[in-house]
Amino acid sequence: MTVSLRYFEIHSFADPGRPHSGNPAGVVLMDNFLSDSELLGIANSNNLSETAFIVPRGEDCWHLRWFTPTVEVDLCGHATFAAGAVVLEEGLVKGRTAAFDTRSGRLAVSRDNKGDGYAMDLPIIAFEPTAKSAAIEAALGVETSPQAVFDVTRIHGARYQMWVMADEAAVRLAEPDHGRLRALETNIILTAPGDKTDFVSRFFAPTSGVDEDPVTGSAHCTLAPYWGERLDKMRLSARQIGPRPGALDVAPKGGRVTLYGHAPRYLDGRITV
């Protein structure tokens, strides 16, 4: 049976006024979920780092699942942000907030009261100090050694680490060997103080099917509490500075973090499967 589904591509955490920035996410509106193989096939055909599939659960609430081109994941910030922007802009939310029930619990997206963007509530992702691996350092292609290394709670099934560098240049100039990182079964958040923002980062996730993600919401669930404590600030400015950059603010509080940013629509239409 052929099914026609509404489809959107949203550029989450884009620089205001700068086209082709931020992290592209697919959003598919559905009455009911198709089979896992169909969902994975759609995500693979979209060939974006994540596609969000949402099914109504009640007033202002949806069931949300995320797929990379190769796997279903437990948390994706930028695709949740995109899904929230879609339902809010399409007039599908009667109140002020869109709620999503997910593998990571209930998440929420609302309009930002201080601007024309959106605000998203996510859980903080914990981290703890660990020793530096020479093999990972070689695979990352960094020119200087990290100031600190942390193990991060796994969210996509793979091992996660956060490497803290001395300055923005060390993050910008890194030339990772994604094949070696994949073989080491490790995804890496690379971060440092920013030249014009509180902090910058890049995120490499070859083990989850994404060599370098443009602007990663879930990574900021670890970055926000780390830099908030280090800089003693309640709201911080951030940039992800890979080949496709973007910007956001983060505000950690208790066990949660709020991410603020823009989510321009790049396209909308229908897909047929």
Note whether 30 and 105 are same-domain residues.
Answer: yes
Residue 42: inside a domain, yes or no?
yes
Q: In this predicted structure, which of 67-71, 73-77, 153-157, 178-182 has the lowest mean pLDDT?
A: 153-157
How far is Cα 142 from Cα 168, in angstroms, rounded to an integer?
A: 12
pLDDT of residue 204: 95
pLDDT digits (tens, 9 = 90+) for 132-155: 999 999 999 999 999 999 999 876
Q: Is residue 249 part of a domain?
A: no
For residue 247, which phi and psi values (nearest 5 degrees)? -140, 150
Residue 204 CB burial class (10 angstroms; 0-12, 13-18, ≥19): buried
Residue 254 lies in a domain: no
Tell me the pLDDT of the chain averaged across its residues.
94
| pLDDT-derived band at 156, boundaries 50, 70, 90 | low
> Do 173 and 166 meet the contact criterion of CB atoms below 8 Å apart?
no
Same domain for 119 and 131, yes or no, is no
Query: Could you give the CA distance from residue 201 to residue 164 in angstroms, rounded to a whole number?
Result: 9
**Owning domain of residue 19:** 4-123+259-272
Q: Are residues 45 and 92 in the same domain?
A: yes
Separation between Cα atoms, residue 16 and residue 157, nearest integer Å: 33
pLDDT at 199 over 80: yes
100 and 149 housed in the same domain: no
- Residues 114 and 134 both lie in one domain: no
Is residue 239 in some structural domain? yes
* For residues 222-248, average pLDDT: 96
The pLDDT score that the predictor gives to residue 157 is 66
**In total, how many domains does the chain have?**
2
* Domain identity same for 11 and 63: yes
At residue 7, the pLDDT reads: 98
Tell me, yes or no, whether 67 and 118 share the same domain: yes
Both 155 and 55 in one domain: the answer is no
Please name which of 124, 117, 82 lies closest in space to residue 219, comparing C-alpha atoms. Answer: 124
The amino acid at 188: I
Cα–Cα distance between 104 and 171 in angstroms, integer?
29
List of residues 6+ apart from 60 with CB closer than 8 A = 93, 94, 95, 97, 98, 99
Task: Tell me whether residue 141 is in a domain.
Answer: yes
118 and 137 fall within a common domain: no
Q: 172 and 106, same structural domain?
A: no
Q: State the pLDDT at residue 113.
A: 81
9 is catalytic: no
Residues 173 and 193 grouped into a single domain: yes
With respect to residue 34, please indicate whether it lies within any of the assigned structural domains: yes
Whether the pLDDT of residue 131 is over 90: the answer is: yes
What is d(CA 88, CA 102) in angstroms, rounded to the nearest whole number? Answer: 18
Q: Is residue 250 part of a domain?
A: no
Q: Are residues 75 and 181 in the same domain?
A: no
| Confidence category of residue 97, pLDDT binned at 50, 70, 90 | very high
CB 204 within 8 A of CB 181: yes
Asked whether residue 98 is domain-assigned, the answer is yes
pTM: 0.92
**Using only C-alpha atoms, what is the Rg of the chain?**
18
Which CATH number covers residue 87?
3.10.310.10
Question: Exposed, middle or buried, 91 (CB in 10 Å: 0-12/13-18/19+)?
Answer: exposed
pLDDT of residue 234: 96
| Torsion from C-alpha of 241, 205, 170, 162, nearest 10 degrees | 110
Q: Which of 9, 50, 72, 212 is catalytic?
A: 50
Query: Is the sign of the CA dihedral 269, 79, 101, 87 positive or negative?
Result: negative
Q: What is the model's pLDDT at position 116?
A: 80
pLDDT digit string, tens, across residues 25-62: 999 999 999 999 999 999 999 999 899 999 999 999 99
State what percent of residues in the chain have pLDDT above 90: 86
- HSE on the CB side for 12, CA within 13 Å? 35
Q: Which residue has the higher pLDDT, 114 or 179?
A: 179
